[in-house]
Amino acid sequence: MDRNRISRIAHTGHPIAAPLSDQAVTDVLKQALNSTSAQARLLDLGCGGGEWLLRALEQHPGAAGVGVDVSEPAVAHARAEADRRGLAQRLRIEQEDAASFRSEGEFDVVFAVGVSHVFGGLLPTLTAARKHLAAGGRVVLGDGFWESPPSAEGLEILGTMDDLTGLVGSVTEAGWTPVYGHVSSRTELDAYEWAWTGALAAWGLQRRGTPEGQEALAVSAEHRQGWLAGYRSSFGFVTLVVC
Ligand SMILES: C[S@@+](CC[C@H](N)C(=O)[O-])C[C@H]1O[C@@H](n2cnc3c(N)ncnc32)[C@H](O)[C@@H]1O
């Protein structure tokens, strides 16, 4: 199965594709949008199923958003959800590479959560976000870090990352000021991984005996093993609102 389709299925029960609780998402959105006008313009680079924008638009009836993602199933889901939730008039979803998306620097808030691989790292992600940002705008940046030195297996799965101090230090040294931050708790990290592997496993069980069902079960089991044995004990995730 296509990786994008697997990801879509895996996010059925956790539409934000990052380890944040619903309350944490609400808190981050409040901090990101509290200094914008009622007509805030929002951009999500690598928007996935569009959930950050959808919730922001629900909380801010005058706001409008643009989401960009390469994944066909994610884009289709975001558009369908916008229709279902009565937000389609205020949300445009583009299926394209976020790294080559062009704008006139008109956005009050730019979201870049879990997408540093798209831009080649955290600082290039901020540089890309800056191009789209209006004066005085804010960036919501979410990324992983190593809470403690990873095992060889964890390092192989997730690669080299800073610790939290190094991550925040590199952001501030690049000239950004954090005005809010949320470090995901163990409960949030576990909830995300169980939701991801669990939704995929449940989907596979419903199709047990078919090649797709077997594949979904195998991918879920492999991911769960990599998480539990590889990176669960060392991985952390932080979401920053920076100016
Ligand atoms: C970890 S998910 C995060 C989704 C979303 N930001 C969220 O927090 O819910 C990463 C997303 O980046 C998207 N992506 C990967 N490469 C991309 C690219 N070159 N341009 C745009 N999106 C991309 C994936 O399709 C996926 O939806």
Q: How confident is the model at residue 219 (pLDDT cuts 50, 70, 90)?
A: very high
Residue 91 in tokens: 């949300």
Cα distance between residue 142 and residue 192, in whole Å: 14
Q: From the CB of residue 172, how many other CB atoms can be counted at a distance below 10 Å?
A: 11
Q: At what angle do helices 72-84 and 3-10 cross, to 10 degrees?
A: 40
- Give the ligand 1 atom nearest the CA of 71: 25
Atom 25, ligand 1: which residue's CA is nearest? 71
In this predicted structure, what is the pLDDT of residue 227? Answer: 97
Look at strands 235-242 and 178-183 and give their pairing. Answer: antiparallel
209 alpha carbon to ligand 1 midpoint, in Å? Answer: 31
- The whole-number average pLDDT for the span 146-168 is 97
Atom 26, ligand 1: which residue's CA is nearest? 48
| CATH code of the domain made up of 3-242 | 3.40.50.150
Q: Is 50 in the pocket of ligand 1 (CB under 6 A)?
A: no
Tell me the per-residue pLDDT of 33-75, one tens digit each, with 9 for 90 and over: 988 888 999 999 999 999 999 999 999 999 999 999 999 999 9
Q: How confident is the model at residue 90 (pLDDT cuts 50, 70, 90)?
A: very high
Residue ranges per structural domain of the chain: 3-242
Atom 19, ligand 1: which residue's CA is nearest? 97
Q: What is the rounded average pLDDT for all residues in the chain?
A: 97
In this predicted structure, what is the pLDDT of residue 209? Answer: 93
117 alpha carbon to ligand 1 midpoint, in Å? Answer: 9
Q: Which of 70, 72, 79, 110 to mutate to test the pocket of ligand 1 (most atoms within 8 A of CB)?
A: 70
46 alpha carbon to ligand 1 midpoint, in Å? Answer: 4
Q: How confident is the model at residue 171 (pLDDT cuts 50, 70, 90)?
A: very high
Torsion on CA atoms 48, 55, 110, 161, rounded to nearest 10: -60
Q: How confident is the model at residue 241 (pLDDT cuts 50, 70, 90)?
A: very high
In this predicted structure, what is the pLDDT of residue 37? Answer: 85
Q: Is 157 in the pocket of ligand 1 (CB under 6 A)?
A: no
* pLDDT over threshold 90, residue 237: yes
How are strands ordered across the β-sheet holding 133-146? 91-95, 64-69, 41-45, 107-113, 133-146, 235-242, 178-183
Q: How confident is the model at residue 105 (pLDDT cuts 50, 70, 90)?
A: confident
Instruction: Look at phi and psi of residue 184 and say left if phi exceeds 0, alpha if psi is from -120 to 50, else beta.
Output: beta
- The whole-number average pLDDT for the span 93-121 is 96
Cα distance between residue 147 and residue 188, in whole Å: 15
Q: Is 24 in the pocket of ligand 1 (CB under 6 A)?
A: no
Cα distance between residue 102 and residue 128, in whole Å: 10
Q: Which of 69, 79, 81, 193 to mutate to test the pocket of ligand 1 (most atoms within 8 A of CB)?
A: 69
- The whole-number average pLDDT for the span 93-103 is 96
CB of 101 closer than 8 Å to CB of 129: no
Percent residues over pLDDT 70 in the chain: 100
User: From the CA atom positions of the chain, what is the Rg in Å?
Assistant: 18
Q: With a threshold of 0.95, does the pTM exceed it?
A: yes
In this predicted structure, what is the pLDDT of residue 38? Answer: 86
Q: Is 140 in the pocket of ligand 1 (CB under 6 A)?
A: no
